[in-house]
Amino acid sequence: QVQLVETGGGSVQSGGSLRLSCAVSGNIGSRYCLGWFRQAPRKEREGVAVIDRAGSTSYEDSVKDRFTISQDSARATVYLQMSSLKPEDTGMYYCAASVAQWLCHGLRELYFGYWGQGTQVTVSS
């Protein structure tokens, strides 16, 4: 059974930084992709960043140059380093896993079958 557990959320002022972590357990296969999604109040969930097993990454346009996704395969953990945070980055952040590496870089949640419970990020102005 695949489980994803996020940690690292919190409250920060605009311009600050946070690092989210997601511990992955269980077998997600050899062609996996791990991603971060977020949902702001009264908005639909959107893809933020993904990384596949080979280390290729994709980002949503608004977070490019501010967020960095990385993984530690030995620790089965994926990270999201967030810098220069803005109030519009506020939301619940979810870690997700896909077994379809060839589909995940479009940042569509449709292709992610495993999800964590989420961690809240609040950025105040």
User: Within 10 Å of residue 77's Cβ, how many Cβ atoms?
Assistant: 17
Q: What is the pLDDT of residue 105?
A: 92
In percent, the amount of the chain with pLDDT more than 70 equals 100
- Phi, psi (rounded to 5 degrees) for 16: -80, -175
Q: How far apart are CA 75 and CA 112, in angstroms?
A: 21
The gap from C-alpha 50 to its chain's centroid, in whole angstroms, comes to: 7
Residue holding tokens 């269980």? Answer: 26
Q: What is the mean pLDDT of the segment spanning 82-109?
A: 95
Q: Mapping DSSP to helix (H, G, I), strand (E, B) and coil, where does residue 36 land?
A: strand
According to DSSP, the residues that pair with 122 across neighbouring strands are: 11
| Strands of the 77-82 sheet, one edge to the other | 3-7, 18-25, 77-82, 67-72
* CB-CB contact of 52 with 32 (8 Å): yes
Q: What local confidence, expressed as pLDDT, does residue 75 receive?
A: 79
* pLDDT surpasses 90 at 30: no
pLDDT, position 31: 86
Mean pLDDT of 49-57: 95
The pLDDT of residue 74? 84
In this structure, the number of other CB atoms found within 10 A of the CB of residue 63 comes to 22
The CA-to-CA distance between both ends of the chain, in Å, stands at: 40
Query: What pLDDT score does 26 carry?
Result: 93
